[in-house]
Amino acid sequence: MKLIIGLGNPGKQYEYTRHNIGFEIIDALADKWNAPLTNSKFNGMYATVHRPEGKVILLKPLTYMNLSGECVRPLMDYFDIDVEDIIVIYDDLDLETGKLRLRQKGSAGGHNGIKSLIQHLGTQQFNRIRVGVDRPPAGMKVADYVLAKFSKEDGPIVADAITKSVAAVERSLTKPFIDVMNEFN
């Protein structure tokens, strides 16, 4: 069984913001696979999808970004999912908007959602898809920037990043993640 986790914040005010790109990619997978996230457990919304490659759970933690691990760890324990069978999708300030970077391990790099996951999983070794949102303009606070919506000009770039992220997740169901990294990085 695979667990695909998109990080974000719940609530209308956070929809389509940079910090919620993980939620958007989970929604795109759910739409493509006709699997609405109607189940709720451990303060998260999820869907269980039976695919030819096996069972996949799509998860959006509703704990707010900084507490993501409080949802993910109990759900992994409940469904008996190993850390090597998860993929975490989230925004990254250190990548230009729309650029993807797949990794199998790494530090939190200042991302509080990843910090929470590392704390609750007890490891930095888990698959991740980082989606670039770029750095804020001079003088703008990081929190204000990541909680703002993408610009109109960024729309097509972000849409392309979502499409590529969906493709990377689908490819990871049939190939080792290292191969998917080589293809999408």
Distance separating alpha carbons of residues 85 and 97, to the nearest angstrom: 27
Whole-number pLDDT of residue 115 = 97
Strand order in 127-132's β-sheet?
Answer: 39-41, 44-51, 54-61, 2-6, 86-92, 127-132, 100-103
3-class DSSP state of 45: strand
Cα-based torsion angle of the residue sequence 99, 94, 168, 12 in order, rounded to the nearest 10 degrees: -90
Please enumerate in sequence order all residues whose Cβ is within 8 A of that of 111, keeping only pairs 6 or more positions apart, or say none. Answer: 90, 91, 92
pLDDT digits (tens, 9 = 90+) for 33-50: 999 999 999 999 999 999
Confidence of residue 104 (pLDDT cuts 50, 70, 90): very high
Confidence of residue 119 (pLDDT cuts 50, 70, 90): very high
122's tokens: 């007890």
Of the chain, the percentage scoring pLDDT greater than 70 comes to 100
Give the number of residues written for the chain. Answer: 185
Pick the CATH number of 2-184 from 3.40.50.1470, 3.30.70.1150, 3.40.50.2000, 3.30.1650.10: 3.40.50.1470
Whole-number pLDDT of residue 98 = 97
Whole-number pLDDT of residue 65 = 94
Catalytic residue IDs = 19
Distance separating alpha carbons of residues 76 and 61, to the nearest angstrom: 12
Whole-number pLDDT of residue 111 = 95
Confidence of residue 77 (pLDDT cuts 50, 70, 90): very high
Mean per-residue pLDDT for 8-28?
96
Global pTM reads 0.96
pLDDT digits (tens, 9 = 90+) for 133-177: 999 999 999 999 999 999 999 999 999 999 999 999 999 999 999
Strands 86-92 and 127-132: parallel
Mean per-residue pLDDT for 65-70?
96
Average pLDDT score, the chain: 96
Q: Using alpha carbons only, what angle is made at residue 161 by residues 2 and 116, rounded to the nearest 5 degrees?
A: 50
178's tokens: 């290292």
Distance separating alpha carbons of residues 59 and 144, to the nearest angstrom: 25
